[in-house]
Structure 1
Amino acid sequence: MPVKVKRKDHINSAARNLFRERGYSATSMRDIASTVGIEVASLYNHIDSKESMLQQICFTMAEKFLAIIPLVKHLQERPEEQLKEAIRLHVLVITSHADESAVFVHEWKHLSEPHLSAFKKMRNNYEGFYRDLIRRGEELGLFKNIHEKFVMMVLFSSINWLYDYYKPNGKLNPSQISDIITDIFLNGIKNN
């Protein structure tokens, strides 16, 4: 692997960690350069800007989440089973990319236009997929008739914070975590 690629990866990794720890606004190019061990001016040999690193993180994560949709739609299952699989895959993305997930959840609002609008559109498409699953479950009488946007927000509120307390060597692995979340969530919305 060429040195320039390794250096760029090191810069992106430092930016991810700093954005997560300090936030995007509180992280300067000087902070990133210092962490990597190079001069600020040298950063620009490897990256375009601080925002370009934020864009890369946010859009890469959005693409990972959006990739869940065709995998779940491919299952010819009832909405309950599709929702279980969607939650399982979402948990897997979050636990596999904790730093990026933290930045994705909190720092997207610092994107400038037209990137902010493009990001919001991707996020709305992903959230819409969950709302549709919940709505279909309601229509089939599987789920209680609860406002699907609110239900979706409750679900994401519980799983999007996993990056903060998930530990790779902890007591629960991603599969166990998704089983617990799915059990609690689905038992709360199931029409018994």
Structure 2
Amino acid sequence: MSMSDAIANLSRKEQVIRKAAELFKDKGYAAASMRDLAQLLGIEAASLYSHIKSKEEILRSLCFDMAAEFRKSLEEVEKQNVPASEKLRNGIIGHIQVMAKDLTASAVFMNEHRHLSEPYLRDFLLLRINYINRFKTIFEEGVRTGEFKSTIDKKLAVMTLFSSLNWMPMWYDPDSSIDPQALGDQLADMLVNGLKATSTTAG
């Protein structure tokens, strides 16, 4: 199914949200207007309000729906009875796959969430902190079992990991020769291998 066919099968509200994500990514949330969105959809601005209440409602939907997808992916990884290094690797791959499903919404999630009003911004940031801390817990498990280096600062390790992953929506081309699965595998190998403890044997 082509992207245009997929969009055509969405509800009208979902189509509005999808087009809004494109607009927010291209112009930035603050610079985008409901009039811009109406023009993009080819409808009158007044008609938008029969589908959506406000511009921020769209941003909330994009941000919290993406947060739920990330959380769901990580929860599946946390259930796995595997070593911490494998769990971290699978968490990284899952994170990449969630972003790859909708690069536009992912870019909005990463860059435009700061425009949420309270209490939504606080709630969003709490979700993000919880998600990051769960990756930190996996890393700490690996340190305890000797899989990961104990000399690496835990916060540095996790924030470096996310700094590497979260730029993906800005540069990844889905039409490139590397598919999301291969991309996830390669990034996971680079990031996890850099954390692993090395064993030495006496000569």
TM range (shorter): over 0.9
Could you tell me which of 183, 194, 199 is aligned with 1:177?
183
Could you tell me which of 8, 12, 15 is aligned with 1:10?
15
Instruction: State the AA in 2 paired with 1:66.
Output: R
Misfit runs of 4+, over 4 Å = none
Task: Give the structure-2-normalised TM-score.
Answer: 0.89
CA RMSD, aligned part only? 1.4
What is the Cα deviation at residue 6 of structure 1? 3.5
Greater shift in the superposed pair: 51-60 or 110-119: 110-119
Name whichever structure is richer in helix by fraction. Answer: 1
SS in 1 for 2:112: helix
SS in 1 for 2:29: coil
Instruction: State the AA in 2 paired with 1:191.
Output: A
Could you tell me which of 158, 167, 184 is aligned with 2:164?
158
What is the Cα deviation at residue 135 of structure 1? 1.0
What is the Cα deviation at residue 86 of structure 1? 0.6
Matched residue, 2:104:
99
CA distance in 2, matches of 1:151, 1:59: 26
CA distance in 2, matches of 1:123, 1:62: 7
CA distance in 1, matches of 2:89, 2:166: 16
CA distance in 2, matches of 1:69, 1:161: 19
Matched residue, 2:136:
131
Task: Give the structure-1-normalised TM-score.
Answer: 0.94
Is the Cα contact below 8 Å between 2:74 and 2:94 reproduced in 1? no
Could you tell me which of 168, 179, 185 is aligned with 2:174?
168
SS in 2 for 1:67: helix
**How many residues get paired?**
189
Matched residue, 1:21:
26
Could you tell me which of 134, 140, 143 is aligned with 2:145?
140
Give unpaired runs (5+ residues) of structure 1.
none
Matched residue, 1:42:
47
What is the Cα deviation at residue 169 of structure 1? 2.4
Give unpaired runs (5+ residues) of structure 2.
1-7, 199-203
Instruction: State the AA in 2 paired with 1:159.
Output: L
Q: What is the aligned-residue identity percentage? A: 39
